[in-house]
Amino acid sequence: MTTPPPSDDAPNDPVPFPAWVPPDGSTPQALPPAPPPAPLPPVPARRRTNRFAVTALVTGLLGLIPVAVGFVIAALVQAGRRGEKGKGLAIGGLVASVAWAAAVALTLTLLSADVNGQSVRKDGKVAVTTIRPGECFSEFEETPAGMYVRRSSCTAPHQGEVGAEGELPDIPYPGERETADRAWTVCRERTEFLERSRYGSDLKLRVAPPDEDAWKGGRRAATCVMVYGGSGLLPAPLAQTMETKSRDESELAPGDCVQKWNDDGVQPIIACTEEHEFEVLAVYTMQGGKYPGDKGMEKKVTKGCLKFARKAWGENPPADIDFAYVVPNEDGWEAERRLGFCLVEGRHGPLKRSVVPH
């Protein structure tokens, strides 16, 4: 079969037909572009944990209370300012510190109640070993467990006073009997001056030596207790009941009040409630060979008296006193007179009370 030739009226190029025609015969339109994808929600940034908060928790758990508290404060301030995590850790460190502080306070309370036995009884009486020299008491009671008293003001009628504490030598525990003997000797020497009280003949010395546990714990002080056995009660501190008389300076003792210091070696002792120039802080024998010279002597006695002052008041002596001293000159030193006297005087005039604990 022969194919007819193309008609001249036929176009050379075929007319393209769309692949799809709408039913209504309209011309198809281009599809609109697809809308852009919706943006993803932002991912929140991860908050850092404050380093101080972690440190606060660790130091709190270890019981480093002052350090922990400092880090707690720093963590709370810094975390709040920077928006960091860790406030809970910081609070945990604070709670741990408080728990440690409570535990320490409880331990100290229990330890203080175990010096030479139970120090505070249910009836309110305390062991004499808990009372400082110069403090007064009533209702003295001596038991196999120790000596117990009820604290009392020295200005109110009272039964007695702790006259002194005597430090025993730093040696291994020598046993109960020898400790008691040493304590008695020390207390006898330390309280002998109280015999000059107008109540001296009726004062009875009682001694509480340290026991073995106290000794091994470093507490070797014997407590020297003066109990009044006369009629009635003591009306004032023993230091205010001293009879007025003169004594050789070699007989002076802590708590003696000197009306005016005499260079002849005989000192007028008066009641400390009367005006006086000096009160004796300490009398001690100065050691050494050759006379050290005036400046050397001043340095020597200043060092010695400072030791006694710190023992009496720690680092806080009364604000209204000054310190003085009396030492031998070169002739006295060569004559083997070696006593040094540590004295207290009023900063603004004569003293009118006892200021030295003894």
> Are the C-beta atoms of residues 28 and 21 closer than 8 Å to each other?
yes
Torsion angles phi and psi, residue 75, rounded to 5: -65, -45
Q: Where are the domains of the chain?
A: 51-112, 126-238, 244-346
pLDDT at 210: 93
Supply 76's token pair.
């709370």
User: Tell me, what's the pLDDT at 125?
Assistant: 93
pLDDT digits (tens, 9 = 90+) for 314-351: 988 999 999 999 999 999 898 888 889 999 999 999 99
Phi, psi of 161 (to 5 degrees): -155, 145
Q: Lowest-pLDDT range, 58-72, 113-127, 144-158, 263-277?
A: 113-127
How much is the pLDDT for 276?
93
Percentage of the residues of the chain whose pLDDT score is greater than 90: 39
Looking at the predicted structure, is the pLDDT value of residue 12 above 90? no
Main-chain dihedrals φ then ψ at residue 25, nearest 5 degrees: 80, 5
pLDDT-based confidence at 150, cuts 50/70/90? very high
Per-residue pLDDT band for 37 (boundaries 50, 70, 90) equals: low
Q: Where are the alpha helices (DSSP H) in the chain?
A: 51-61, 65-82, 87-112, 176-191, 212-216, 293-313, 330-334
- Is the pLDDT score of 18 beyond 70? no
In the three-class reduction of DSSP (H, G, I as helix; E, B as strand; rest coil), residue 67 is classed as: helix
Highest-scoring range by mean pLDDT, 45-49, 86-90, 303-307: 303-307
Q: What is the DSSP letter of 134?
A: T
pLDDT of residue 109: 52
Main-chain dihedrals φ then ψ at residue 239, nearest 5 degrees: -60, -25
What is the rounded CA–CA span in Å between residue 125 and residue 236?
21
Q: What's at 211, amino acid-wise? A: D
Residue-wise burial string across 157-174, b where 16 or more C-beta atoms lie within 10 A, e elsewhere: ebbbbbbbbbebeeeebe
Q: Following CA atoms 91, 94, 99, 102 in sequence, which dihedral angle do they give, to the nearest 10 degrees?
A: -140
Q: What angle do CA 28, 31, 35 make, to 5 degrees?
A: 165
Q: Give the pLDDT of residue 346.
A: 94
Residue type, 197: S
Which of 116 and 54 is assigned the larger pLDDT? 54
**Torsion sign over Cα 229, 235, 237, 238:** negative
- For residues 159 and 125, give the distance between their C-alpha atoms in angstroms, rounded to a whole number: 14
173: left (phi over 0), alpha (psi -120 to 50) or beta: beta
pLDDT at 107 over 90: no
Contact present, 55 and 21 (Cβ < 8 Å): no
pLDDT classification of 148: cutoffs 50, 70, 90: very high
- pLDDT recorded at residue 117: 45
Tokens of 4: 């007819």
Measured distance CA(16)–CA(94) in Å, rounded: 86
104 falls in which pLDDT band (50, 70, 90)? Answer: confident
Distance of CA 81 to the CA centre of its chain: 36
Instruction: Provide the percentage of residues in the chain whose pLDDT is more than 70.
Output: 82
Q: What is the mean pLDDT of the chain?
A: 82
- How far, CA to CA in Å, does 14 sit from each of 11, 17, 27, 236, 241? 7, 9, 19, 140, 144
| Greatest C-alpha distance within the chain | 171
- Give tens-digit pLDDT for 244-277: 678 888 888 899 899 999 988 889 988 888 899 9
pLDDT at residue number 17: 45
Q: Between these two residues, 193 and 157, which has the higher pLDDT value? A: 157
- The whole-number pLDDT of residue 106 equals 63
Weakest-pLDDT range from 15-19, 166-170, 337-341: 15-19
d(CA 299, CA 325): 11
Q: Please state, in angstroms and rounded to a whole number, the distance separating the CA atoms of residues 344 and 352.
A: 12
Distances (CA, A) of 90 to 68, 78, 95, 104: 9, 11, 9, 21
Rg (CA), the chain: 45
**Spatial distance between the Cα atoms of 358 and 160, rounded to a whole number of angstroms:** 14
Angle formed by the axes of helices 65-82 and 51-61, nearest 10° = 160
From 21-25, 124-128, 254-258, 276-280, the region with the lowest mean pLDDT: 21-25
Q: What is the pLDDT of residues 194-246, one digit of tens each?
A: 888 889 999 999 999 999 999 999 999 999 999 999 999 999 999 888 766 78
